[in-house]
Structure 1
Amino acid sequence: MLNLNSSDDNSNRNSFQDPVSLNVGGEIYTTTLDTLTRCRDSMLGAMFTGQIPVLRDDRGNVFIDRDGKVFRYILNYLRSSSLDLPAGFSELSLLRREVDFFQIRPLLEEICHFEATMPLSLKGGPLGAMIIVNVDSKVRVLHFNLRHGPENYELRTCSVRAFTVDIFCTWKAFLALLCERFFFRTSKGLKSPNPCNLRQNRLKLEWVPRPDELPQDQYDKHCYQGLTVSNPEVTQLDDITNRHRNLCDVTDMQGFVEELLKVSLAEGFKVDLVTPDPAEILNCTSLRLVKC
């Protein structure tokens, strides 16, 4: 049973005694009045200076109907004036919402700064998430006329290799991350992969590196596009122009697999299955990774 203590009968902080016990969404915390009133203009400050009424549970703990798990980070900030989050913390949006509810503005500013300076990485995600990658490449022979003069043409033959990658991931946010990491290089400039298939948890990439012997106009005529990968050290604070200056062309499937492994391993995935030869992972035809 919950009891309401109004500010009429508890008009000052002397109605609370150290240590103070709180029941936040079923999680019990013990702290001091000085900690709870560190930010006087916050909701906690108002609650524990008697400006607004509080609820108590049947054991006398002050009851707050909010998320109890992330409240520990709020309390630790009030104790130390430092935002300390564990590696792989994946509930930043939830923490931000809770801090906004309690109106602890200095902590809200710390969280916004933390988000702005984070690397382009997800820093979390569900354990057991799975990535399945299938790759394929085909050689195509092109015949084209190379013009040397008004009526002087030479028939040329050139081979190009077309690459196709089909990625399925149970964690959609990881596919969205890949759309921010990889870009297509087209005749009209750079463009991000189309994320329209993310609803089915799939991302398909198709590209054709341009060989030196194939003129650019012939390459564009066939509507081919290359694939590039951005430097993971470039942060979200950099504008899109600066990001594009840090691109490397992906010229073969081994290069793509290597870049994909860099991204997935950084997000906590581990290689689970390689086909056909586990010892030749960069030459695989299919790959499975699991987040653990």
Structure 2
Amino acid sequence: MLNLNSPDSNSNSLQDPISLNVGGEIYTTTLDTLTRCRDSMLGAMFTGQIPALRDKQGNIFIDRDGKVFRHILNYLRSSSLDIPVEYSELTLLRREADFFQIRPLLEDIRRCEALVPLSHKGGPLGAMLMVDVDCKVQVLHFNLRRGPQNYELRTCSVRFFTVDLFCTWKAFVALLCERFSYRTPQGLAHPRPCNSRQNRLKLEWVPRPDELPLHQYDKQRYQGLTISDPEVSQAHSDENSTHRSPYDITDGQSFMEELLTVSLAEGFKVDSVTPDPTDILNCASLRLVKC
């Protein structure tokens, strides 16, 4: 075992270029690159804080995944995570970054993982998604204040939408919970699966009619449904806003459009549509299968 900070090894070990044997893969780099992240394991190893081993050829030996290490080394060189769009070993790369304790790289990997479609994360083929959509209309009577003692009786129709969704792939249900948000006077709130297995989701929302004032809408404890978007979430959560957001789900069609956009992107294909297969956006029941 060799201590790189020992007097005997300083003249030999700390000179560029430095050769590494990582799991049988040989890399050549510089001391500056290896110590770019000082609080990492590599930073500690090559500043003499941790002892290191050499192989028979004199290369510093590290018993980790040699092929994945190229991404670790490239990140230290450029401070940028440059991997293919459909890179399939993010989990392994995260494990290696965690072992070497390169925290900026770990953060970049987590951001990258959040953008990778679930279908690229090994979702199960044959997974089934079943959706039932229902809409009921109710006539609402309310008083509109015109003055201190002057109230006018108003009437409007309110639509109650309900979606019952079941998916054998619970990670997809989790994705939908992140994709949609309830819009309430207190701000945005994500829906949650409604069973312990986390593969069933029920959504209930009431779009606000133009003729129904916002304070009356809130008084009835109605909640809208919107597409989550971090860039506009603050604007959506403003309880005093009287403007409808373009991200709001105002009817069954807009919900179905969004659901199909997400599910088709994750590899689902439409299997059956009820009652009219030619009118999928206005269907009552829909079944999709992951191919």
Question: Is this a same-fold pair by TM over 0.5?
Answer: yes
Q: Distance in 1 between matches of 2:189 and 2:204?
A: 12
Q: What is the CA distance between 1:272 and its match in structure 2?
A: 4.3
Q: Distance in 2 between matches of 1:43 and 1:13?
A: 22
Change in Cα spacing, 1:13 to 1:159, as seen in structure 2 (3 Å) is: farther
Give the aligned partner of residue 134 of structure 2: 137
Q: Distance in 2 between matches of 1:283 and 1:35?
A: 62
Of 210, 224, 241, the residue aligned with 2:208 is: 210
Paired residue type of 1:200: R
Give the aligned partner of residue 71 of structure 1: 69
Q: Distance in 2 between matches of 1:169 and 1:68?
A: 38
- What is the TM-score when the length of structure 1 is the normalising length? 0.66
Alpha carbons 1:227, 1:250 under 8 Å: kept: yes
Change in Cα spacing, 1:219 to 1:165, as seen in structure 2 (3 Å) is: same
Alpha carbons 1:122, 1:174 under 8 Å: kept: no
Q: Which runs of 5+ in 1 are unaligned?
A: none
- What is the TM-score when the length of structure 2 is the normalising length? 0.66
Question: How many percent of aligned residue pairs carry the same amino acid?
Answer: 48
Question: Secondary structure in 2 aligned to 1:11?
Answer: helix
Q: Distance in 1 between matches of 2:178 and 2:27?
A: 43
Question: Secondary structure in 2 aligned to 1:256?
Answer: helix
Paired residue type of 2:131: N
Paired residue type of 1:192: A
Alpha carbons 2:52, 2:61 under 8 Å: kept: yes
Q: Distance in 1 between matches of 2:58 and 2:289?
A: 49
Equivalence map 1:1-292=2 (5 Å): 5-7=1-3, 11-12=9-10, 14=12, 20-23=20-23, 28-32=24-28, 34-35=29-30, 38-40=33-35, 41=38, 42-44=40-42, 47=45, 52-55=50-53, 64-66=62-64, 70-78=68-76, 82-89=80-87, 95-96=93-94, 98-104=96-102, 108-109=103-104, 112=107, 121-125=114-118, 126-129=121-124, 130=127, 132-142=129-139, 144=141, 159-169=157-167, 172-186=170-184, 188-195=185-192, 197=194, 199-201=196-198, 202-212=200-210, 219-220=217-218, 222-231=220-229, 234-235=230-231, 240-242=233-235, 244=237, 248-266=247-265, 268-276=266-274, 279-284=278-283, 285-290=285-290
Q: Distance in 1 between matches of 2:145 and 2:76?
A: 75
Q: What is the CA distance between 1:21 and its match in structure 2?
A: 2.9
Question: Secondary structure in 1 aligned to 2:257?
Answer: helix
Q: Distance in 1 between matches of 2:182 and 2:175?
A: 15
Structure 1, residues 3-38: CA drift from partner, whole Å, max 9, x if none? Answer: xx3337983574799764321xxxx32211x25762
Q: Which runs of 5+ in 2 are unaligned?
A: 239-244
What RMSD, in angstroms, separates the aligned Cα atoms of the two structures? Answer: 4.5
Alpha carbons 1:165, 1:205 under 8 Å: kept: yes
Q: Distance in 1 between matches of 2:152 and 2:219?
A: 17
Q: Distance in 1 between matches of 2:55 and 2:195?
A: 45
